[in-house]
Amino acid sequence: MTTSSSERGVSLGMPELPAPAYPDDVRARLEADAREIIARYPDSRSALLPLLHLVQSEEGHVTRTGMQFCADVLKLTTAEVTAVATFYTMYRRRPSGDYQVGVCTNTLCAVMGGDAIFEQLQEHLGIGNGETTDDGKITLEHIECNAACDFAPVVMVNWEFFDNQTVQSAKRLVDDLRIGHTVSPTRGAPLCTFKETARILAGFPDERDGAVEASGSAGPASLVGLRLARGETAPARVVHPRDGGPHDEPQDRAVHEPSPAEHQSSHDAPQDTSASDPAHPAGPTAEEGE
């Protein structure tokens, strides 16, 4: 006596139907944008990454329809497109919020308070990693290094920087985003929605007033490394031993006392960080320099 697959608890399922097509007007608009993107590359398949951002800007995530569109215009298989879309975390595979809030939990941000920020935001918003609030405003995720360690802990919203965060400032940030208040990044261009960000990442100009002129830069500690790489001489800086013991100082070099603007790290300056939040200490309780 034989048993069927259903009786054995095995579900073979039905073949997946082809992805639905974009409406004619949407497809015509996307094809015009796609031609502009493809023209930038000597090999058309090199345009796949920006094309995935393009289709993500249409629906807020990369759908099967979007992947089929990319395959059609680049003459690739859907398997080739899917392999790329599922490899890079910047491509969302399911509906997500207007604002992607990423908390850096890599080493330095984590020990400076990133772990506490991420944990408290999950509780505050009532969602887990990669989940979206019911109002469709916020998708929360932990992310790896943002290359902004001298501003740790860092939170990013749609890839714009919010530096030197605390648990409370991060909560205020997401609350303001949900109620529609204007939120300005610490540096960089003004904040826009995730769909608008995706179109910019596809290589199209940001046409908002003042967006191009807005700029940000690395912190002082990062720029010191850049200057040294260029062979520039760093200013003399004599640091006395913490124990106050004897030491030798070069007699032909003046002692340079840095001004507040010359601090080598944002955490040398009197800025609020997670370390100043008594409810969520990020490290030793002693003040820095003691």
**How is residue 114 written in tokens?**
């990133």
CB 68 within 8 A of CB 62: no
pLDDT of residue 126: 94
Fold of 24-87: Arc Repressor Mutant, subunit A (1.10.10)
User: What number is the average pLDDT over the span 34-61?
Assistant: 94
| pTM of the predicted protein model | 0.69
98 Cβ partners below 8 Å, 6+ apart? 136, 137, 138, 177, 193, 194, 195
Return the amino acid letter for 233. Answer: T
* Residue 215 confidence (pLDDT) above 70: no
Nearest Cα residue to 264 out of 215, 228, 214: 228
pLDDT tens figures, 71-114: 999 999 999 999 999 999 889 988 989 999 999 999 889 999 99
Place of tokens 């100009």: 205
Q: Report the length, in residues, of the chain.
A: 290
Q: E strands, the chain, where?
A: 99-104, 138-143, 155-157, 160-162
DSSP secondary-structure letter at 110?
A: I
142 with 103: CB under 8 angstroms?
Answer: yes
Q: Which of 105, 151, 116 is nearest to 267 (CA)?
A: 151
Q: How many CB atoms lie within 10 A of CB 22?
A: 20
Which pLDDT score, from 0 to 100, does residue 84 have? 94
Please give the class, per CATH, of domain 99-193: alpha beta
The Cα–Cα gap between 218 and 193 comes to 24
* 57 pLDDT more than 50: yes
Token pair of 174 as six digits: 């997401």
pLDDT confidence bin for 269, thresholds 50/70/90: very low
Find out whether 160 and 185 touch, Cβ atoms under 8 Å.
yes
Per-residue pLDDT, 242 = 61
In this prediction, residue 222 carries a pLDDT of: 73
Is pLDDT at 258 greater than 50 in this prediction? no
pLDDT of 255 over the 90 cut: no
Task: Give the whole-angstrom CA distance, residue 105 versus residue 183.
Answer: 23
Q: Tokens 């094809």 belong to which residue?
A: 31
Contact 99, 194 (CB under 8 A): yes
Residue with tokens 């908002």: 208
> Contact at 8 Å (CB) between 89 and 247?
no
Residue 289 makes CB contacts below 8 A (sequence gap 6+) with none
Going by C-alpha positions, the residue among 289, 7, 275, 57 that lies closest to residue 166 is: 275
> What region does 244 belong to: left with phi over 0, alpha with psi -120 to 50, or beta?
left
Tens digit of pLDDT for each residue in 108-156? 899 999 999 999 999 999 999 999 999 999 999 999 888 888 889 999 9
**Domain boundaries defined on the chain:** 24-87, 99-193
